[in-house]
A and B are shown apart, each in its own frame.
Chain A
Amino acid sequence: DVKVTQSSRYLVKRTGEKVFLECVQDMDHENMFWYRQDPGLGLRLIYFSYDVKMKEKGDIPEGYSVSREKKERFSLILESASTNQTSMYLCASWTTNNIGELFFGEGSRLTVL
Chain B
Amino acid sequence: GENVEQHPSTLSVQEGDSAVIKCTYSDSASNYFPWYKQELGKRPQLIIDIRSNVGEKKDQRIAVTLNKTAKHFSLHITETQPEDSAVYFCAASKGENFGNEKLTFGTGTRLTIIP
Q: Measuring CB to CB, which residues of chain A are less than 8 angstroms from any residue of chain B?
A: 30-31, 33, 35, 40-45, 48, 50-51, 54, 56, 58-59, 90, 96-102, 104-107
Query: Which residues of B16-54 are within 8 A (CB) of A?
Result: 32, 34, 36, 42-46, 49
Query: Is B105 engaged at the interface, CB distance under 8 Å to the other chain?
Result: yes
| Contacting residues, chain B, for A99 (C-beta < 8 A) | 32, 93, 95-97, 101
Q: How far is the CA of A80 from the CA of B106 in the complex (A)?
A: 29
Cβ-defined partner of A42 (8 Å) among B49, B89, B95, B102: B89
Q: Which residue of B lies closest to A30 (CB)?
A: B99
Q: Which residue of A lies closest to B3 (CB)?
A: A59
Q: How far is the CA of A48 from the CA of B103 in the complex (A)?
A: 10
| Contacting residues, chain A, for B42 (C-beta < 8 A) | 106
Q: Give 1 or 0 for each of B54-85: 1 = CB within 8 Å of chain A CB.
A: 00000000000000000000000000000000
A45 touches B49 (CB 8 A): no
B43 touches A102 (CB 8 A): no
| Contacting residues, chain B, for A50 (C-beta < 8 A) | 99-101
B34 touches A45 (CB 8 A): no
Q: How far is the CA of A9 from the CA of B89 in the complex (A)?
A: 22
Cβ-defined partner of A107 (8 Å) among B32, B43, B46, B97: B43
B102 touches A45 (CB 8 A): yes
Cβ-defined partner of B98 (8 Å) among A43, A96, A100: A96
B43 touches A51 (CB 8 A): no
Q: Which residue of A lies closest to B97 (CB)?
A: A96
| Contacting residues, chain A, for B6 (C-beta < 8 A) | 42
Question: Chain B nearest CB: distance from A25 CB in Å?
Answer: 13
| Contacting residues, chain B, for A100 (C-beta < 8 A) | 46, 49
Q: Which residue of B lies closest to A95 (CB)?
A: B97
| Contacting residues, chain A, for B97 (C-beta < 8 A) | 96-99
